[in-house]
Amino acid sequence: MRSRPKGWRRWPARRTRSTPGSWPSWAAATSSPEIWLPDPAVRAERERARFRLHLVRHRTALKNRVHAILIAHGIPTPSSDLFGAGGRRLLERLALPEPWRSTTAASLALIDTLDEQIDACQRDVRRLGADHPYVRRLITCPGVAWILAFTIASEIGDIARFHTPTKLIGYTGLTPKIEQSGESDRRGPLRKNGPNHLRWALVKQPTPPAATRSTSRSSSATVPDTDGSAAANSPPSRSLAGSPKRSGTW
């Protein structure tokens, strides 16, 4: 879906007769810029992925609260998974005073409820991602599974609107700030513009092993980096954002 940005106004009309290729006709053709807006289907995909992430963050906060209660009372946690079967038996045997006992029980109940909701969201994402044209390509990248691939695909939307890999990487906000003027060349932190959820999903991607990194680097070595940065190699998240567009498979 395309729309005219805020502040757009039509080129003032001229009373002169315009012919194809003349200045008035060229101005009328170039004075109506367009921006891409996600359609309802893309917005629905983003809502599913973002709501699942919202639930996961709430569950993590509750788990951290239970750990904080145990630390405050000096109780060690010998179980590797405090919220698994063995960890739950340990929590049931604890003789915590009130109100910490009640808050721990309420936190565990909320964690169970969130687990059910998150599992339902993951089933929907897995079902919808099976027919998504981008997800099947993304899961071939090292460290990317169904949930992460669906999140990246929904946040990118229509990849055809990016004419080069550089534009796609710039959209993610994972490019460093570069200020060049004459002989001055200053490099800064990442720009962090663009969708926050897309940048989170690309950074969430774990770093693949060295052998896999060398294979991925060699497969995309035919396209040079065009961001002007020669001081350091691009992080895996930038490589992941640019590699599908470089290969032209989306």
What residues are paired with 190 via a beta bridge?
176
CB burial readout 122-151, b (16+ within 10 A) else e = eeebeebbeebebbebbeebbebebbbbbb
Structure tokens at 3: 């729309």
Say if residue 147's pLDDT is above 80. yes
Produce one character per residue of 110-119: b if its CB has 16 or more CB atoms within 10 Å, e if not: ebeebeeebe
| C-alpha to C-alpha distance for 183 and 176, rounded to whole angstroms | 19
Instruction: Look at residue 130 in the predicted model and tell me its pLDDT.
Output: 83
pLDDT computed for residue 233 by the predictor: 40
pLDDT score, position 225: 37
- Phi, psi (deg, nearest 5) at residue 111: -65, -40
Which of 236, 41, 53, 242 is closest to 154 using CA atoms?
41
CA distance 106 to 98: 12
More confident residue, 226 or 130: 130
Once rounded to an integer, what is the mean pLDDT over residues 142-146? 85
pLDDT digits (tens, 9 = 90+) for 182-238: 888 888 888 888 788 888 888 876 655 555 444 444 444 333 333 333 333 445 565
At residue 32, the pLDDT reads 54
pLDDT of residue 108: 95
Question: Alpha-carbon distance 165 to 171, whole Å?
Answer: 10
* Chain segment 10-21, per-residue pLDDT in tens: 555 555 555 555
Once rounded to an integer, what is the mean pLDDT over residues 141-159?
Answer: 88
Residue 105: per-residue pLDDT: 93
Region 24-50: mean pLDDT is 75
Whether pLDDT at 123 is above 60:
yes
Q: CB burial class (10 A; 0-12, 13-18, 19+) of residue 180?
A: exposed
Q: What is the pLDDT of residues 67-98, one digit of tens each?
A: 999 999 998 887 788 898 888 988 888 888 99
Q: For the residues 142-154, what does the mean pLDDT come to?
A: 88
Supply the pTM of this predicted model: 0.67
Please provide the distance, in angstroms rounded to a whole number, between the alpha carbons at the two ends of the chain.
19
